Amino acid sequence: MAIKSGKNALFTEINITPLTDIFLVLLIIMMVVAPTFQDADSSITMPEINSGISIEQKNATISVSKAGNLYLNGTAIKKENLVQALVELKPALEEPEVVVKADTQVKSSEIMNIMNAAQEAEFKKLIVAGEPLSKKEQKELQKQNGEVNG
Protein backbone atom coordinates (compact mmCIF):
# COMPACT_ATOMS: atom_id res chain seq x y z
CA MET A 1 0.00 0.00 0.00
CA ALA A 2 1.51 3.27 -1.02
CA ILE A 3 -0.56 5.89 0.81
CA LYS A 4 1.25 8.90 2.17
CA SER A 5 -0.28 11.41 4.48
CA GLY A 6 -0.11 15.08 3.80
CA LYS A 7 -0.21 17.22 0.67
CA ASN A 8 1.74 14.77 -1.49
CA ALA A 9 -0.60 11.81 -0.74
CA LEU A 10 -0.43 9.01 -3.28
CA PHE A 11 -3.62 6.92 -3.72
CA THR A 12 -3.08 3.64 -5.62
CA GLU A 13 -6.24 1.66 -4.78
CA ILE A 14 -9.10 1.40 -7.26
CA ASN A 15 -12.67 1.84 -6.10
CA ILE A 16 -14.58 -0.97 -7.90
CA THR A 17 -18.07 -0.05 -6.65
CA PRO A 18 -18.92 2.22 -9.64
CA LEU A 19 -17.47 -0.37 -12.01
CA THR A 20 -19.65 -3.11 -10.50
CA ASP A 21 -22.72 -0.85 -10.77
CA ILE A 22 -22.04 -0.27 -14.47
CA PHE A 23 -21.70 -4.01 -15.16
CA LEU A 24 -24.94 -4.78 -13.29
CA VAL A 25 -26.83 -2.10 -15.25
CA LEU A 26 -25.47 -3.50 -18.54
CA LEU A 27 -26.47 -7.03 -17.48
CA ILE A 28 -30.02 -5.91 -16.70
CA ILE A 29 -30.28 -4.07 -20.02
CA MET A 30 -29.15 -7.19 -21.93
CA MET A 31 -31.61 -9.38 -20.02
CA VAL A 32 -34.46 -7.04 -20.96
CA VAL A 33 -33.42 -6.55 -24.60
CA ALA A 34 -32.35 -10.15 -25.45
CA PRO A 35 -35.89 -11.61 -25.83
CA THR A 36 -36.68 -9.02 -28.51
CA PHE A 37 -33.96 -10.51 -30.74
CA GLN A 38 -35.94 -13.72 -31.04
CA ASP A 39 -38.32 -13.75 -34.00
CA ALA A 40 -41.73 -14.82 -32.71
CA ASP A 41 -43.26 -14.90 -36.21
CA SER A 42 -40.86 -17.44 -37.70
CA SER A 43 -42.36 -20.64 -39.03
CA ILE A 44 -41.81 -23.84 -37.12
CA THR A 45 -39.20 -26.19 -38.53
CA MET A 46 -37.78 -29.46 -37.31
CA PRO A 47 -35.01 -29.06 -34.77
CA GLU A 48 -31.45 -29.94 -35.57
CA ILE A 49 -29.96 -32.29 -33.04
CA ASN A 50 -26.23 -32.08 -32.35
CA SER A 51 -26.10 -34.85 -29.79
CA GLY A 52 -28.28 -37.62 -28.45
CA ILE A 53 -28.87 -41.27 -29.02
CA SER A 54 -28.58 -42.54 -32.55
CA ILE A 55 -31.54 -44.34 -34.04
CA GLU A 56 -30.66 -47.75 -35.35
CA GLN A 57 -32.30 -48.92 -38.55
CA LYS A 58 -33.53 -52.16 -36.95
CA ASN A 59 -36.88 -50.48 -36.41
CA ALA A 60 -39.79 -49.82 -38.69
CA THR A 61 -38.72 -46.51 -40.23
CA ILE A 62 -41.41 -44.50 -41.98
CA SER A 63 -40.12 -41.65 -44.15
CA VAL A 64 -42.47 -38.94 -45.41
CA SER A 65 -41.39 -36.78 -48.35
CA LYS A 66 -42.44 -33.19 -48.98
CA ALA A 67 -45.01 -34.45 -51.49
CA GLY A 68 -46.54 -36.70 -48.83
CA ASN A 69 -45.19 -40.00 -50.18
CA LEU A 70 -44.68 -42.68 -47.54
CA TYR A 71 -41.74 -45.09 -47.43
CA LEU A 72 -41.51 -48.01 -45.00
CA ASN A 73 -37.83 -48.95 -44.57
CA GLY A 74 -37.05 -47.40 -47.97
CA THR A 75 -39.91 -49.03 -49.87
CA ALA A 76 -42.79 -46.92 -51.19
CA ILE A 77 -46.11 -47.71 -49.57
CA LYS A 78 -49.64 -46.35 -49.87
CA LYS A 79 -51.32 -44.79 -46.84
CA GLU A 80 -54.13 -47.36 -46.98
CA ASN A 81 -51.67 -50.26 -46.74
CA LEU A 82 -49.57 -48.85 -43.89
CA VAL A 83 -51.35 -50.65 -41.02
CA GLN A 84 -51.19 -54.03 -42.76
CA ALA A 85 -47.51 -53.55 -43.68
CA LEU A 86 -46.66 -52.63 -40.07
CA VAL A 87 -48.50 -55.72 -38.77
CA GLU A 88 -46.55 -57.93 -41.21
CA LEU A 89 -43.22 -56.30 -40.31
CA LYS A 90 -43.71 -56.43 -36.54
CA PRO A 91 -42.55 -60.06 -35.95
CA ALA A 92 -39.23 -59.38 -37.71
CA LEU A 93 -38.33 -56.49 -35.39
CA GLU A 94 -36.38 -56.72 -32.14
CA GLU A 95 -38.60 -54.13 -30.44
CA PRO A 96 -42.00 -52.88 -31.61
CA GLU A 97 -40.88 -49.35 -32.43
CA VAL A 98 -41.80 -47.02 -35.28
CA VAL A 99 -39.42 -44.22 -36.29
CA VAL A 100 -40.94 -41.34 -38.24
CA LYS A 101 -38.63 -39.19 -40.33
CA ALA A 102 -40.44 -36.42 -42.20
CA ASP A 103 -39.67 -33.35 -44.28
CA THR A 104 -40.13 -29.97 -42.59
CA GLN A 105 -43.03 -29.15 -44.94
CA VAL A 106 -45.12 -32.21 -43.97
CA LYS A 107 -48.33 -31.34 -42.16
CA SER A 108 -48.85 -32.61 -38.63
CA SER A 109 -52.01 -34.42 -39.76
CA GLU A 110 -49.79 -36.77 -41.81
CA ILE A 111 -47.75 -37.55 -38.69
CA MET A 112 -50.98 -38.13 -36.74
CA ASN A 113 -52.14 -40.59 -39.42
CA ILE A 114 -48.86 -42.50 -39.04
CA MET A 115 -49.27 -42.48 -35.24
CA ASN A 116 -52.79 -43.88 -35.59
CA ALA A 117 -51.58 -46.59 -37.98
CA ALA A 118 -48.82 -47.57 -35.54
CA GLN A 119 -51.34 -47.73 -32.73
CA GLU A 120 -53.67 -49.91 -34.79
CA ALA A 121 -50.75 -52.23 -35.55
CA GLU A 122 -50.17 -52.41 -31.76
CA PHE A 123 -46.72 -50.79 -31.73
CA LYS A 124 -45.75 -49.67 -28.23
CA LYS A 125 -43.30 -46.89 -29.10
CA LEU A 126 -43.19 -44.15 -31.75
CA ILE A 127 -40.09 -42.00 -32.26
CA VAL A 128 -40.23 -38.78 -34.26
CA ALA A 129 -36.70 -38.18 -35.50
CA GLY A 130 -35.27 -34.76 -34.76
CA GLU A 131 -33.40 -34.65 -38.05
CA PRO A 132 -35.77 -34.07 -40.98
CA LEU A 133 -35.72 -36.06 -44.19
CA SER A 134 -33.25 -34.20 -46.41
CA LYS A 135 -33.82 -33.46 -50.07
CA LYS A 136 -31.02 -35.85 -50.95
CA GLU A 137 -32.68 -38.68 -48.99
CA GLN A 138 -36.02 -37.90 -50.66
CA LYS A 139 -34.45 -38.09 -54.12
CA GLU A 140 -32.70 -41.36 -53.25
CA LEU A 141 -35.99 -42.89 -52.07
CA GLN A 142 -37.74 -41.75 -55.25
CA LYS A 143 -34.96 -43.18 -57.45
CA GLN A 144 -34.96 -46.42 -55.48
CA ASN A 145 -38.70 -46.84 -56.02
CA GLY A 146 -38.78 -45.62 -59.62
CA GLU A 147 -40.93 -42.56 -58.94
CA VAL A 148 -40.80 -39.40 -61.00
CA ASN A 149 -41.84 -36.17 -59.31
CA GLY A 150 -41.82 -32.82 -61.04
Give tens-digit pLDDT for 50-83. 444 554 556 778 888 877 788 888 788 888 888 8
Question: Residue 54 and residue 57: Cα distance in Å, rounded?
Answer: 10
pLDDT grade for 132, boundaries at 50, 70 and 90? low
Q: Exposed, middle or buried by CB within 10 Å (0-12, 13-18, 19+), for 66?
A: middle
- Residue 2 has what pLDDT? 56
- Residue 129 has what pLDDT? 74
- Residue 98 has what pLDDT? 85
Q: Which fold has domain 60-144?
A: Nucleotidyltransferase; domain 5 (3.30.420)
Q: Exposed, middle or buried by CB within 10 Å (0-12, 13-18, 19+), for 117?
A: buried
**Which is more confidently placed, 18 or 96?**
18
Q: What is the residue extent of each domain of the chain?
A: 60-144
At 28-52, the pLDDT tens digits run 999 988 877 665 444 445 455 544 4
pTM of the model: 0.53
Average pLDDT value for the chain: 75
- Residue 27 has what pLDDT? 95
